[in-house]
Amino acid sequence: MRFLFLGDMVGKTGRTAVWQRLPGLISDLKLDFVVVNGENAAGGFGITEEIFQETINAGADVVTTGNHVWDQKEAVTFAARHDQFLRPANYPAGTPGRGSNLFFARNGARVLVANIMGRVFMHPELDDPFTTGETILASCPLGEQADAVIFDFHAEATSEKQCFGHFVDGRASAVIGTHTHVPTADCQILNGGTGYMSDAGMCGDYDSSLGMDKEEPLNRFISKMPKGRFEAATGPATICGVGVEISDRTGLAEKIAPLRLGPRLSETIPDFWA
């Protein structure tokens, strides 16, 4: 199974780049399943129902989120209406929406996708991500109810992301980190066969501070005083993510490589799909 994960879409320039490029990527790379993190898609803060639907229309099978999931008030209402919209699974019981779900890929495979948020340096501090991950895996094990298992682990600390990867190694197809908006260089297959990357990076303008116009963040570092609001940068976007070839037999990763398309960063497409 050919799986593609795209990192956090940031603002209009990020989401537009994804909408424009994703249909061609699905066709050219013969992708079976696509997950996109959309929690920064609306001006850098949250996601609207319209943006969610446009992302699905562009070819995403699932849209995940993170700590900004509720920044747009309408998300509280529409979260429960869409099976393809995931908020972190370790929110307390009774939170609107769902944190994991089982989907069917284009090749017919059953794909469990779970969105989990870390707790180190993260707000709000949610339930234990490791306990949550264990519960999700127990309810839909790889090789039994699921042919592939994907985790979007939305967290700040790379140590927490790495430990979660090792925790589910051999029981998940891939653990892809999000939240820090910078693609990491540790794309790998863990000892048990789980594809792993600490952060997929963002889909947005890299002439920025994490996808936001750089002037106000820079001002706050220097002066310690706000002059205005954070605004999403509007320059050309680079799409960042990771491709994983998942075994149809074992559900584990066989190949993994980063994907980067656009200015600023060196472009790369997983060569095993070229």
Q: Which two tokens stand for residue 41?
A: 């898609």
Closest of 160, 159, 155 to residue 181, by C-alpha: 155
Contacts (Cβ under 8 Å, ≥6 apart) of 185:
none
The answer to whether 68 is a known catalytic residue is yes
Contact 92, 127 (CB under 8 A): yes
Work out the number of other CB atoms within 10 angstroms of the CB of residue 268.
14
CA distances from 234 to 24, 44, 132, 204, 207 (A): 23, 11, 37, 8, 9
CA distances from 13 to 17, 142, 195, 209 (A): 6, 36, 29, 14
**Set 68, 154, 179, 181: catalytic member:** 68
Catalytic residues: 68
